[in-house]
Amino acid sequence: MDSPFHCVADLGALLGESPVWEAERQTLRFTDINGKRLHRFDPQSGRIDTLDLSEELGCFAPLADGSIVAAQRSGIYRMAADGRRELLATNPETFPGSRFNDGSTDPRGRLLAGTIDPERQGRAALYRFDRRGLEKLADGLMTSNGLAFSPDGRTLYHSDTLRYVIHAYDYDLDRGAISNRRVFAQLTPTDTDHGRPDGAAVDAEGCYWSALYQGARVHRYAPSGELLASYPVPAQSPTMPCFGGPDLKTLYVTSARDGSSDEQLAAYPLSGGLFALRVDVPGLPKTFFDPEA
């Protein structure tokens, strides 16, 4: 398959996710959720440093001191570089298999992170974590994903992957509150294509880039919701894009091996790798988590 993406790290990640560009170090950090690992990739040297974790890490947000706020299976932690952690908030969900999944900081430095419901009963939710603690913003979800903000921070995008839908909300920057949910894009599975919206990022023009899990491609949507372009990825299940590089014009995409059949892995042997694509429009810089937000 011809793809504009090239593989920069053939990791074989079980569930690569949550790439975050570290501008001050010019490195990319990302998690392998099912592999219980946190990776750091240096594009200049190609070196990958890996931290083994005690439980799954769904998403994370850097702090200015080099530590991270980590949304894991059992809760949200402050984690040092060596993996030592301090519990900040317990996962309030008690149903089997619940864990934190995709997340992102808002422009003020709060963490928004959602959960998954493996039994597909719509019990997952989207939460905000800040100095006030953990607060539920939306519920009734299957798999919370696709968190990204418009350039002005006043629109929040969010997907419910197993329902094939991407929503947009009005976002109150002062309160960290959402309102006015509407459908931004609705995908429809077919007999041969089950691509569904996973992680996402927004570029400087306000366009929303969505990785299609089991769809082997990344979509770029206009702020209106119009599909502008579709880019094939040499992995069956791309999971999340992230803008990086000195000019934020390198689009990195994580991917997964888990969930793919033997036939799919034969067709996409690089599944689980990290991919890169040079783009014309830069992304938006990520905000550090701010404990005082």
Could you give the residue numbers annotated as active site? 198
The answer to whether 256 and 14 have CB atoms below 8 angstroms apart is yes
Q: How many Å from the N-terminal Cα to the C-terminal Cα in the chain?
A: 45
Q: Round to whole Å and give the CA distance between 272 and 53.
A: 18
- How many other CB atoms are found less than 10 A from the CB of residue 263? 9
As a whole number of angstroms, the longest Cα–Cα distance in the chain is: 49
Long-range contacts of 169-177 (CB under 8 A, 24+ apart): 171/106, 173/106, 173/107, 173/108, 176/106, 176/108, 176/110, 176/128, 176/130, 176/293, 177/137
Can you say how many angstroms the Cα of residue 267 is from the centroid of all Cα atoms in its chain? 25
- How many other CB atoms are found less than 10 A from the CB of residue 119? 12
Three-class SS of residue 225? Answer: coil
Q: Round to whole Å and give the CA distance between 107 and 285.
A: 10
Q: Round to whole Å and give the CA distance between 212 and 136.
A: 26
Residue 10 corresponds to which tokens in the numbers above?
Answer: 């053939």
